A and B are shown apart, each in its own frame.
Chain A
């Protein structure tokens, strides 16, 4: 994959994390009933950063879990999928306000699968979606509540998100497929 342009660097990503943290607190009038769920794999570092920032602002502890949506995908016949990740939700989600976090919002199919998966764990009060990049091309009626950056793309481009925790650097770029 050949890189076409850098979209966000480390300090851009840092500012986005802080802004979204503030937006979440504002919208929810605090952080009392919040829990975080990161979608494996790139949703996890973003979840941890936003959660950490809210904890610092609110002087509180917030639970967070990890969600792998492999078993809920709708494209099972299209590709061999054996790189699973762990689902770890060590708390009750009933009547909680869930902040669901992923790196890129594209067709909406991942989020559809995540919503189904969450409902199997219980009945939350609400689910709000955070994404770092919204690249458009939705195939389902799904939208994000908190968006890091809207990034119009063409279908022969690919959005690559890197996190220090996984790739060793913070960077978002557009690449040619």
Chain B
């Protein structure tokens, strides 16, 4: 099963997805050792090219590579020759001339990562491109669900919030559907993309319609930075129909879990007090667990792509 790049979820088949998810368990075990490092990718160089601000994805890739003993080069566009007028592809080719083995790329434009991967000869992992795709987030979400429920049968999941601007939601829906989950969306109509029929999910107008029945409540981040006009009347109105407050949190189905890709806007999509209860509610609130699992999934992906060259 030849897999060169991880650009979007629809390029992965079910067998490849299962292989990646099942391998992740063994990489996670490395993270629980006293000495959290193995020499698996010694001598390899991973370059992080992040054209968009990111804390967790970039540091997650960086630490994943370091745990496997690869060298990491972080590229920051603000200090680079892009300012001097060099094109993005030329910048990337310059970096690759320094003999990198794999590139992780994030960019504000959908399709940018695909364009770069078509023009360079090393494996590329998409760290998020515009509104298009964020495959590593979707895979870590799937691993978190698999680890909690110990299976992927009959999972019902509701994805709640800003669908329009969310590459996480697009990748998650594609992946969850492929694994046979029932996926619902809960989204104000103004934040619902026109192309939703492509995903074939049922949309609800209030979180109350799904809160008691779903195994997973997946809250999305309100992406203020991508909204150039106001698409809902007020925070109060949004809270009334779409936010997770304490009383809704208590209504969640027995054994169900709460997820969020982070960073959370406290008081917008989730009541801040729920986040503060995470330590006592590890079985239910998986937001920090998602971050931990992100490192393990990325180790699995780096190893997978770099071990078959």
Q: Beta-carbon contacts of A81-101 to B below 8 Å, as 1s and 0s? A: 110111110000000000000
Q: Which residues of B contact A121 (CB under 8 A)?
A: 33-35
Give Cα A70 to B308, complex, Å. 14
Give Cα A71 to B38, complex, Å. 6
Closest to A116 in B: B39
Instruction: Establish whether residues B304 and A82, one from each chain, have CB atoms under 8 Å apart when the complex forms.
Output: yes
Q: Say yes or no for A145: interface residue by CB 8 A criterion.
A: no
Q: Say yes or no for A11: interface residue by CB 8 A criterion.
A: no
Closest to A77 in B: B309
Q: Which residues of B contact A68 (CB under 8 A)?
A: 26
Q: Beta-carbon contacts of A47-82 to B below 8 Å, as 1s and 0s? A: 000000000000000000000101111001100111
Instruction: Establish whether residues A80 and B38, one from each chain, have CB atoms under 8 Å apart when the complex forms.
Output: no
Q: Which residues of B contact A167 (CB under 8 A)?
A: none
Q: Say yes or no for A120: interface residue by CB 8 A criterion.
A: yes
Q: Which residues of B contact A87 (CB under 8 A)?
A: 26, 29-30
Given contacts A72-B39, A72-B40, A121-B35, contact A77 B26 (CB under 8 A): no
Given contacts A71-B38, A72-B39, A86-B26, contact A80 B33 (CB under 8 A): no
Give Cα A116 to B29, complex, Å. 17
Closest to B41 in A: A76
Q: Which residues of A contact B35 (CB under 8 A)?
A: 120-121
Instruction: Establish whether residues B26 and A80, one from each chain, have CB atoms under 8 Å apart when the complex forms.
Output: no
Closest to A85 in B: B26
Give Cα A88 to B30, complex, Å. 10
Instruction: Establish whether residues A77 and B40, one from each chain, have CB atoms under 8 Å apart when the complex forms.
Output: no
Least CB distance from B20 to A in Å reads 8
Instruction: Establish whether residues B38 and A77, one from each chain, have CB atoms under 8 Å apart when the complex forms.
Output: no
Give Cα A81 to B304, complex, Å. 8
Q: Which residues of B contact A72 (CB under 8 A)?
A: 38-40
Contact of A84 among B26, B39, B306, B308 (CB under 8 A): B26
Least CB distance from A109 to B in Å reads 14
Closest to A87 in B: B29
Least CB distance from B136 to A in Å reads 17
Q: Say yes or no for B189: interface residue by CB 8 A criterion.
A: no
Instruction: Establish whether residues A76 and B307, one from each chain, have CB atoms under 8 Å apart when the complex forms.
Output: yes
Question: Of residues 230 to 246 in B, which have CB atoms within 8 Å of A's CB atoms?
Answer: none
Q: Say yes or no for B95: interface residue by CB 8 A criterion.
A: no
Question: Of residues 30 to 47 in B, which have CB atoms within 8 Å of A's CB atoms?
Answer: 30, 33-35, 37-41
Instruction: Establish whether residues A77 and B307, one from each chain, have CB atoms under 8 Å apart when the complex forms.
Output: yes
> Residues on A close to B: CB < 8 A?
68, 70-73, 76-77, 80-82, 84-88, 116-117, 120-122
**Shortest beta-carbon contacts, A-B, top 5:** A71-B38, A84-B26, A71-B40, A80-B308, A120-B35
| A-B contact list, 25 entries, CB within 8 Å | A68-B26, A70-B26, A70-B40, A71-B39, A71-B40, A71-B68, A72-B38, A72-B40, A76-B41, A76-B306, A76-B307, A77-B309, A81-B307, A82-B304, A84-B23, A84-B25, A86-B25, A86-B29, A87-B29, A88-B29, A117-B38, A120-B37, A121-B33, A121-B34, A122-B34
